[in-house]
Amino acid sequence: MNIISDIEAAILGLLYEESQYGYQLEKTIEGWGMRNWTQIGFSSIYYVLKKLEKKELVSSKLEIVEGKPSRKVFTITDQGRETMEEKIRELLSWNKKLINPFDLGLAYLNYLEPQEVIRCLENYLESAQGRIKFLESSVRMQKELKAPYYVKALFSRPLTSLKTEMEWVKEFIDEIKRDENL
């Protein structure tokens, strides 16, 4: 069985539904708002497609469209479908350690004065509010569009996580104030 990265899975998943060419994949990524939950840049799409083709998870053929330049259309192979299904099982079955740069700041916050740490954390809370508004709006929109449960989950899960994190940050600010008698 092929081992694929999360970015490869993001592209392979799009091809699971239908064959697409590179620019079409970019439009699908934009339309789905995938950059809110995956790290895939426009410039990496063709690189990933080439890797998937080398692993024989996708095949390609040149499509001639009258009056337009020819384009390479990518189709998932049977092996690609099996690999994608196995990747989904893995992704949904195991809690993995997430590396968050915020933790690096926590590790060294003792190099700052407590009042400055509190100001930084308050800025963090403020910046998180914008993301919460976006996610709440996205959840509402998905409900209005009667999107499938798995599409709604792409916005409701990070919203719940962010709200929980904000509560933790607020409690941490209170702890700093108590410990430092501020």
- β-bridge partners, 62: 72
Q: Is the pLDDT of residue 32 over 90?
A: no
- Chosen domain end from 93, 126, 156: 93
Domain end (from 44, 70, 93): 93
pLDDT tens-place string over residues 46-72: 999 999 999 999 999 998 878 888 889
Of the candidates 163, 173, 164, the residue with the CA atom closest to the CA atom of residue 119: 173
Q: Is the pLDDT of residue 116 over 70?
A: yes
* Separation CA 57–CA 78 (nearest Å): 8
Last residue of a domain, one of 73, 93, 113: 93
Residue 1 has pLDDT above 70, yes or no: no
d(CA 119, CA 131): 19
| pTM score, whole prediction | 0.80
Residue 1 in any domain: the answer is no
How would residue 41 be classed by pLDDT, with cut points 50, 70 and 90?
confident
- Taking the alpha carbons at both ends of the chain, their separation in whole angstroms is 57
Domain count, the chain: 2
**Once rounded to an integer, what is the mean pLDDT over residues 99-114?**
95
Range of the domain at 174: 101-179
